[in-house]
Structure 1
Amino acid sequence: MVKRRVFLAQALVLGAALPAAAQAIRLPAGLDPENTLVIELKDGPVIVKLRPDLAPNHVAQVKALARQGFYNGLVFHRVIEGFMAQTGDPTGTGTGRSQLGNISAEFSREPFVRGVLGMARAQDPNSANSQFFIMFNEYPSLNNQYTVFGQVVQGMDAVDKIKRGDPRANGQVRAEPDKMIRVRVAADIR
């Protein structure tokens, strides 16, 4: 009995000391766990409603990469104040991608507003692979030019705290960039 109380006391102390990103994840009501992404940041979890109705191939690729653990530990390599935070490059340079194939564009009429997730790509509209960005604000010039595949429904306060990059270097974050601690499909969280 004494061992059990000590263990419980230790668990409570340890639980209280966990960073925001490691504490329990609670999904808002009404979300489909199979189409919900949980991105754990240093300042807390970001809950993303994925949009297979808009971009089924992009959603499938992001979910496959999340399930492989591909995104875990990747940095936000390009973060521009008032615009967006970009991640998903295993090299941290903005030039890397996953081993999965590129995805053809799935443009929609869904606007790029605060909290929208869009797939990054090269000049070729059919070159999206693993990199994506989260919008800080509305940016109409991206509409119908990039694929929208999700929307933050909880945790934009944590996104807003992502370290900004150098505006003279197109938002590149060179020193100690913030990272995605862990990225999971909500259906896989036990």
Structure 2
Amino acid sequence: MATAENTLILDTTKGVVTIELRPDLAPKHVERIKLLVREGFYDGVTFHRVIDGFMAQGGCPHGTGTGGSDHPDLPAEFNDEPHIRGVCSMARARSPNSANSQFFICFDDASFLDGQYTVWGKVTSGMEAVDQFARGEPVRNPDRINKATIAADQA
């Protein structure tokens, strides 16, 4: 059961997406997500890479997939959680220890990613909003996160 401290709320251009954070699976990644949310890092950031039947990726400050936060990259916290519909996982470069701020939400089963990317959460409501995100690599008129908050911080 998700607590308010481990509930991420993304107010997107297509609706509200609620994500249960899983510090039991990836404590350092969840800590980073919360830090970036509380810094306002994700506010206004686009879903720059959205592939039908695969995933929606966001979290790049440039909207291109080329950037991250000013914080150091994270060590991999690969786990046994499967990449299935609604799972949130960290994007990274070729190095396993290169995750920083970019993440993706799976549309469907992506089991070929299992054990190679860090799963840190799962959508508990609002997946229909994610399903409506504009598609593309890059997306021409991308959807964005208007505001990201941790439920415990909401007044």
TM-score by length of 1: 0.80
Q: Which residue of 2 aligns with 1:184?
A: 149
**Contact map agreement 2:10 2:146 (CA 8 A) in 1:** yes
Runs (4+) of structure 1 moved beyond 2 Å? none
Q: Which residue of 2 aligns with 1:112?
A: 83
Give the letter for the 1:176 counterpart.
N
Q: Which residue of 2 aligns with 1:164?
A: 135
Q: Which residue of 2 aligns with 1:155?
A: 126
Give the letter for the 1:70 counterpart.
F
Q: Which residue of 2 aligns with 1:38?
A: 9
Q: Is structure 2 residue 41 aligned with structure 1 residue 70? A: yes
Structure 2, gaps ≥5 residues long: none
Deviation, structure 1 residue 44:
1.6
TM-score by length of 2: 0.98
**Identity, % of aligned pairs?**
54
1:78-103 deviations in Å (ceiling 9; x for gaps): 00000000000001110100001110
SS at 2:88 equivalent: strand
Out of 96, 113, 120, the position equivalent to 1:125 is: 96
CA distance in 1, matches of 2:81, 2:117: 10
**Contact map agreement 2:86 2:105 (CA 8 A) in 1:** yes
**Contact map agreement 2:14 2:143 (CA 8 A) in 1:** no
Deviation, structure 1 residue 31:
2.8
SS at 1:130 equivalent: coil
Higher strand share: 2
Aligned residues: 155
Give the letter for the 1:172 counterpart.
P
Structure with the bigger RCO (C-alpha within 8 Å, sep 6+) is 2
Give the letter for the 1:114 counterpart.
R
Structure 1, gaps ≥5 residues long: 1-29, 166-170
Deviation, structure 1 residue 43:
2.3
Please report the RMSD computed on the Cα atoms of aligned residues, expressed in angstroms. Answer: 0.7
CA distance in 1, matches of 2:50, 2:141: 13
